[in-house]
């Protein structure tokens, strides 16, 4: 394809990647919407359910993410994306056939392996369709697909769960991804790496050890790892347990809890992610550090509003108070991803994103967040009863305040680390 694709085609590819990311998170979020019926059928504790929600997925994600990134840096990213999408969608549908807990565990592991393509490979592809001046917005729109998918998973998953049961819900959720995989492979073209930044190259990707050495030598990346990990711990805990917490603490039905969490929390978060990209691209024209300053301010500011969701006694008031927090709490997603692409050379972008997301999202966020909340809930239950899960979630959300500090520290060295990529 031409070194610089047309803006219209670039927007089309962004639309396909948005849909891919929406399905990526939708298919993992649907289990969170169905926590109570699945937990009841298999007789699981909150800690065991947290392991299914988080660790079974997160640790498999960790193991598979680097190989997926390396494959994308060395091979056609379009083919890697299409294959991964087909795999996780098929396994999402097959989850409905599970007859034992270990079946669920294996299905979640398989979905996690397939979904690794939605992070590093997708971001690397988009970085070669959009120049730096528009990349923050593009990657924020791409990331907002995840929050839209989470909303659909929470609201539609809960509604379908009440009508057709949790098994058929999984079957239905896997079908759209199978269709999108065919469309992606047929219509998305592989761009020239680095051409949009004036650094076109056909050089092979450096060895993984070299990528790791370069990234860890950059203070920006090290602080981004800490900030992203803490933000992911708060965000994944919220996604995994919010609906169940509101059902237990306030007596909401499955459909009511799912729809409220989907609308008041997840949909509003999607708007915040897109807004953050637009703001960061505008401010970043004057100073690139706004890519990190702005989301850090937002992360710290989100905590009191979201904590109120699980502390206030009236659910109607709690959901309204949570709206500003939901708008702010995921503003870091697209801008952090854009920053990783900014400090990585074209032949190591997929691997760099994979490494970043492996640690922040897979290991800490998905792998540790939900089990930690489940553990706290089990320990608080003798004292607080059905409110224990709400209070455990409020504690986990405080990680976003700590994350803000490291986001600011990462901004201090961004310009210097960017110069290293450009060879200055």
Inside any domain, residue 1: no
List Cβ neighbours of 235 (8 Å cut-off, separation of 6 or more): 329, 330, 365, 369, 400
Q: Is residue 113 part of a domain?
A: yes
* 379 within domain boundaries: yes
Would you state the pLDDT for residue 186? 92
| Local structure of residue 392 (DSSP, 8 states) | H
Q: What is the pLDDT of residue 203?
A: 63
Distance CA 92, CA 25 (A): 12
Cα distance between residue 143 and residue 367, in whole Å? 20
Mean pLDDT score across all residues of the chain: 85
**What does the alpha-carbon distance between residue 110 and residue 57 come to, in Å, rounded to a whole number?**
8
Range of the domain at 37: 7-195+204-422
Q: Is residue 244 part of a domain?
A: yes
What per-residue confidence (pLDDT) applies to 424? 39
Say how many domains are in the chain. 1
Write the CA distances from 354 to 116, 350, 363, integer angstroms.
Answer: 8, 6, 12
The secondary structure of 268-284 as a DSSP string is HHHHHHHHHHHHHHHHH
In tens, the pLDDT along 91-113 reads 889 888 888 887 888 888 888 88
Q: Give the whole-angstrom CA distance, residue 278 versus residue 284.
A: 10
The span from the CA of 190 to the CA of 128, in Å, is 9
Could you identify the residue written with the tokens 């899960």? Answer: 389
- Rounded to the nearest angstrom, the gap between the alpha carbon of residue 120 and the centroid of all alpha carbons in its chain is 11
> Percent of the chain beyond pLDDT 70?
94
pLDDT recorded at residue 295: 93
pLDDT less than 70: residues of the chain: 1-4, 54-55, 58, 194-205, 419-424
Query: Would you state the pLDDT for residue 148?
Result: 82
- Which CATH number is 86's domain given? 1.20.1250.20
Are 95 and 107 contacting, i.e. CB atoms less than 8 angstroms apart? yes
pLDDT reported for residue 380: 93
Assigned domain for 71 exists: yes
Would 61 be classed as within a structural domain? yes
What integer pLDDT is reported at residue 327 of this predicted model?
94
| pLDDT for res 17 | 93
| 105 lies in some domain | yes
* pLDDT value for 423: 46
* 3-class secondary structure, 45: coil
């Amino acid at each position: 394809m031409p070194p610089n694709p047309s803006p219209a085609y670039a927007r089309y590819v962004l639309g396909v990647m948005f849909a891919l990311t929406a399905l990526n998170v939708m298919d993992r979020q649907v289990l969170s919407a169905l926590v109570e019926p699945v937990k009841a059928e298999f007789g699981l504790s909150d800690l065991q359910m947290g392991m299914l929600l988080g660790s079974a997925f997160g640790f498999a994600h960790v193991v598979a993410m680097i190989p997926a990134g390396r494959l994308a840096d060395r091979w056609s990213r379009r083919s890697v994306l299409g294959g991964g999408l087909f795999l996780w969608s098929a396994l999402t549908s097959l989850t409905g056939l599970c007859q034992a807990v270990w079946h669920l565990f294996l299905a979640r592991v398989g979905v996690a392996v397939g979904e690794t393509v939605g992070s590093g490979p997708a971001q690397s592809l988009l970085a070669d369709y959009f120049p730096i001046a528009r990349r923050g917005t593009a990657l924020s729109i791409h990331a907002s697909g995840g929050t839209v998918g989470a909303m659909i998973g929470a609201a539609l998953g809960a509604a379908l769960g009440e009508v057709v049961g949790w098994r058929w819900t999984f079957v239905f959720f896997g079908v759209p991804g199978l269709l999108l995989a065919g469309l992606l492979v047929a219509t998305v073209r592989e761009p020239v790496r680095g051409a949009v930044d004036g650094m076109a190259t056909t050089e092979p990707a450096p060895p993984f050890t070299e990528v790791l050495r370069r990234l860890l030598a950059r203070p920006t990346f090290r602080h981004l790892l800490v900030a992203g990990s803490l933000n992911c711990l708060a965000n994944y805990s919220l996604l995994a347990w919010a609906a169940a917490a509101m059902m237990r603490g306030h007596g909401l039905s499955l459909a009511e809890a799912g729809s409220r969490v989907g609308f008041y929390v997840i949909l509003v978060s999607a708007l915040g992610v897109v807004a953050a990209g637009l703001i960061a691209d505008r401010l970043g024209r004057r100073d690139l550090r706004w890519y990190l300053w702005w989301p850090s301010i937002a992360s710290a500011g989100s905590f009191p509003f979201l904590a109120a969701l699980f502390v206030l006694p009236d659910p109607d008031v709690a959901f309204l108070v949570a709206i500003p927090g939901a708008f702010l709490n995921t503003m870091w997603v697209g801008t952090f991803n854009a920053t990783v692409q900014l400090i990585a050379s074209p032949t190591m972008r997929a691997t760099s994103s994979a490494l970043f997301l492996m640690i922040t999202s897979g290991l800490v966020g998905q792998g540790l967040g939900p089990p930690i909340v489940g553990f706290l809930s089990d320990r608080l239950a003798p004292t607080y009863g059905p409110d224990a899960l709400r209070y455990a979630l409020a504690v986990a959300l405080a990680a976003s305040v700590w994350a803000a500090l490291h986001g600011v520290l990462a901004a201090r060295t961004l310009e210097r680390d960017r110069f290293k990529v450009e060879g200055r």
